[in-house]
Structure 1
Amino acid sequence: MAFSGLHVVCAFPGSAAPQIRAASLLGRPIWSETLATAGTTTNASPGVDPTNGLGDTVFHVLAAADAFVAVGPTPNASTGPRVLAPAGEFVTIYVAKDDKLAWIAA
């Protein structure tokens, strides 16, 4: 089946090594969701990793078609602030504790 909608992975960025925590590498995944239609994730960012003290988490997003995404405790992708997620390209957004992601078609 072809991919449609938007897929988001919540993960810790970089690695556990202090000198490369800010690296743009995708670290340990926490959760993922595929949203077939515009909407908001059911999961939220846990923030700081309690096991190793890593910083804030990231949402790693892939959209099947151009989409606008917004993050926050109650995100609204219609009114923003929002970011364009081009079709087929990964977009990585640093997020804070309890942030969710919402999306709409561009």
Structure 2
Amino acid sequence: MARTLPLVTAGYVGSLTNRTQTLALPGKAVWSEESALPFTTTGVAPDALPGAGDPSFTVYFPVDTVISIGPAPNASTGARYFVPAATERSYYAQPGDKLAAVAAV
């Protein structure tokens, strides 16, 4: 079944056991949120945690979307990324960052 709501998952990128390898794969999930566009997450990127990888957001949007990541993100006017419809992408974040999203025009 196709997703109808955007999904954002905050967690860590990297291996829990093999810290000598740099892997751009989603690792330990901390929380997830679903919401209709436009939105800003209520949760924040987790604190840095040695051995768990770097804080990150993994996103999936059913429509073309523009996102912004930061302490007070603005996906309409701030620094932003384009996320094509029906793709999953992971983005590094700083501890305490939020993610904002709007439908691409």
TM-score after normalising by structure 2: 0.89
Matches within 5 A, 1:1-106: 2-16=2-16, 17-20=18-21, 22-49=22-49, 52-106=50-104
Structure 1's consecutive aligned runs of 4 or more residues displaced over 3 angstroms after TM superposition are 52-55
Q: How many residues align?
A: 103
Q: SS of the counterpart of 2:20?
A: helix
* Structure 2: stretches of 5+ with no match in the other structure: none
Q: SS of the counterpart of 2:29?
A: strand
**Amino acid in the other structure paired with 1:26:** P
Q: Give the CA RMSD over aligned residues.
A: 1.5
TM-score after normalising by structure 1: 0.88
Query: Between the two proteins, what is the percent identity of the paired residues?
Result: 38
**Amino acid in the other structure paired with 1:64:** P
- Counterparts of 1:79 and 1:57 in 2: how far apart (Å)? 24
* Structure 1: stretches of 5+ with no match in the other structure: none
Deviation at 1:55, TM superposition (A): 4.1
